[in-house]
Amino acid sequence: MSEASGSHDLFSSQSSGAESGRLSLPSTSGNGAVPRHDQQQRLSSRPRPPASGEDGEEPEEAGESPRPPESAEGAGDDRSRRIIRNQYRELIYNVQQNREDMLSSKSNRLTEALEEANKLFSGVSCAREAALDAQFLVLASNLGKEKANELRSEMTAFDSLAFAEDLLTFMGINRIEVEENDSDSEGTSGGYLPSNAWHKLGEETEKYFRRAPSFHYMLGSFKSDPPVPRQRIERQKKATGGEEKRAMPAQLKKMEESHQEATEKEVERILGLLQTHFKNDPDTPISFFDLVIDPNSFARTVENIFHVSFIIRDGFARLKLDDDKLPIIEPSKDNVGGEDDRSTGARNQVVISLNHQEWKEIVETYEITEPMISPPHHRNEEEMEIA
């Protein structure tokens, strides 16, 4: 009893880990008849195989073949079953990939695939492989149905290529003598379609339709006023839709530039200021705080630091600590020098934190009365004027 329940537990835990709807047989079941019975019962009450039509077979299969309980035989059998499953999966994959080929009336490949599956099936003894076989059968029968459909129309050989060519002729194509015949390989004929080609075709086709003409009020109605502007906007959008692709990048560039410009302009301006200072006084480095601090505005101070950081990043200037351990800024010769520094040495990062209180203290300590970096003129955003 306990044995039975024990194997039952083993069974259920294994089946919970199995793929949906498929039972994996326990690889070793030392017990004798009892588990086999359980398994057989389970199989017959199993929900479903993946395809229709094979239902009857599986419980039969499970009943017929003896389940090898011993590990040695079990392993060998497992391997061969795995091989069969593999072959089935390969066959299914092949059929799916070569769909077009199988469908062509000239090829016998579908029949060959079916024969191969038939051969494989003779080695099938368990439900899992049979399920794969069923899957293949569904695939093959779908293909067969499609093939039969195609067969019917092929009897009166509608040549779509010729139809396409005749259509183009009707639309008034100008067949230019083209030297390179790459157009043939692309499947389109050479030539130039006039702009009213489709319209011309459309006018002919209208005769074949009994289409109710669209009803529009000639002078419009009161209620249709609001929609009219909407339509215009829509049409404008659609009209520029084609050029949208071109317009959009241009627009985006503009926006980005304007953003960039503001920052870059500032940076350049400050760089100019720096360089002017150094020209006048080549040997004295400027104190960092003298440069960036704006005694009138904390926000502008922070902005200045931001802009100066760009200059340092690009290598036009260097930040150092002087003998008093206070930061100073001095120009570096040119961009190349800056790049070399960057590549040879490690990239240095510095985080400067500055709060309102500290800013005030610095202003007092350094006795900064006016900003070295003059505030830009054209900025119309709110300036925080802090007295």
Partner 1 sequence: MSQRKRSKGSGLSQGGDGDEDFNQSQMPTHSQVQRNLERRSQDQVNQKVSELVQFLLVKDQKKIPIKRADMLKKVIREYRDVYSEIVNRAGKTLQQVFGLQLVEIDTKHHIYILTSDLPRAEGENLHRDNQTAKLGLLLIILSFIFMKGNTAKDGAVWEFLRRLRVQPGERHEVFGDVKKLVTEEFVRQKYLEITPIPLTDPPEFSYQWGPRAAKETSKRDVLRFVAKIQGKDPTFWMSQYNEAEATP
Residues that bind partner 1 (CB under 8 A): 96, 99, 138-139, 142, 149-150, 152-153, 155-156, 158, 160-168, 170, 187-189, 193, 195, 198-199, 201-216, 238, 241-242
Q: Residue 287: helix, strand or coil by DSSP?
A: strand
Please, which contacts does 98-103 make with residues 24 or more away whose CB atoms are closer than 8 Å?
99/143, 102/143, 102/147, 103/143, 103/146, 103/147, 103/150
Q: Beta-strand (E) ranges in 212-294?
A: 286-287
Question: Among residues 6 and 202, whose Cβ is nearest to partner 1?
Answer: 202
**Nearest CA-CA partner of 305 in 315, 326, 319, 321:** 319
Question: Among residues 210 and 347, whose Cβ is nearest to partner 1?
Answer: 210
Minimum Å gap between C-beta 50 and partner 1 is 11
State the helix-helix crossing angle for 33-44 and 2-17, rounded to 10 degrees. Answer: 40
Question: Among residues 44 and 142, whose Cβ is nearest to partner 1?
Answer: 142
**Nearest CA-CA partner of 387 in 294, 320, 302:** 294
Minimum Å gap between C-beta 251 and partner 1 is 19
Question: Among residues 45 and 156, whose Cβ is nearest to partner 1?
Answer: 156
**Nearest CA-CA partner of 71 in 30, 36, 37:** 30
Question: Among residues 63 and 241, whose Cβ is nearest to partner 1?
Answer: 241
**Nearest CA-CA partner of 329 in 259, 261, 377, 277:** 277
Q: Residue 221: helix, strand or coil by DSSP?
A: coil
Minimum Å gap between C-beta 261 and partner 1 is 33
Six-digit token pair at 320?
Answer: 């150092």
Minimum Å gap between C-beta 141 and partner 1 is 10
Q: Residue 267: helix, strand or coil by DSSP?
A: helix
Minimum Å gap between C-beta 195 and partner 1 is 8
Question: Among residues 241 and 272, whose Cβ is nearest to partner 1?
Answer: 241
Minimum Å gap between C-beta 255 and partner 1 is 24
